[in-house]
Amino acid sequence: MGEPKCIHTEPELSLENNSTQEKIIAAAHKLFTQKGYAATKTREIAEEAGINLALLNYYFRSKEKLFDMIMADNMQQFVLGLAQITNDKATSYQEKFALLASSYTDLLLNQPEMPIFILSEIRNNPVGLFQRVRLDKIILSSNMFEQVKEAMKRGEIQQINPMHILMNLLGLTVFPFVASPMLKQFGGMNEGAYRDLMLERKKMIPLWVAALLQVKAP
């Protein structure tokens, strides 16, 4: 009854691992993301992965440890792109808007339940989860917001709190995925039609955000 070979010492979410470990991670990722931590049972994960229940604790010590890995991976995917794109000095802020809308739309078309999962789990654990991926002031002091502030000074765009820009960009991009079950119902749309709508938005959002920047506060 030895410890597993190299799992507990390097508990990172990698894909070139043992096959059963992969199966567990894949099943856990699917179920946790779909239903959240509390609603997902260890026996469900084992069944979905097609493995014996005890292997879950053998490889990951506990449900919570397994969850933390899935969550960290989701968080990283969700916020790492943000930091990278906003800090690329080779692009203008308009190009960054387009890149953000584009890359987030692509990401969410493949993993539509990621943001609602992250946001609903964060509310239960507001502390600690951000310590790994600490973006405290990385966003507001990013190259993108420096460029935006410069454009404000030049009078190219209206004076506005940069947080509004971030909220508008993410709101326009992410919200349709967060609220997709409700919005599909509102529009009487199927999966395909909804997807097409998202692809339309991918092109429109940069134009929309640019237009918002021209609106003057009353």
Partner DNA sequence: AGATATTTTAAACATTTGTTTAAAATGTTT
Partner DNA sequence: AAACATTTTAAACAAATGTTTAAAATATCT
Contact at 8 Å (CB) between 176 and 201? yes
Q: Kindly state whether residue 176 participates in binding its own copies, applying the rule CB under 8 A.
A: yes
Q: Kindly state whether residue 179 participates in binding its own copies, applying the rule CB under 8 A.
A: yes
Per CB under 7 A, residues contacting DNA are 1-5, 18-20, 40-43, 51-58, 61-64
Query: 77 contacts which partner out of its own copies, DNA, none, CB within 5 to 8 A by kind?
Result: none
The C-alpha atoms of residue 6 and residue 26 are separated, in whole angstroms, by: 19
Residue whose structure tokens are 């998202």: 198
Minimum CB separation from its own copies for residue 57, in Å? 21
Give me the 113-152 binding string for its own copies, x by CB under 8 A, dash otherwise. x--x-xxx-xxx-x---x----xxx-xx------------
b/e map 198-213, b = 16+ CB within 10 Å: beeebeebbeebeebb
b/e map 151-175, b = 16+ CB within 10 Å: beeeeebeebebeebbebbeebbbe
Q: Kindly state whether residue 35 participates in binding its own copies, applying the rule CB under 8 A.
A: yes
Query: 199 contacts which partner out of its own copies, DNA, none, CB within 5 to 8 A by kind?
Result: none
Q: Kindly state whether residue 186 participates in binding its own copies, applying the rule CB under 8 A.
A: yes
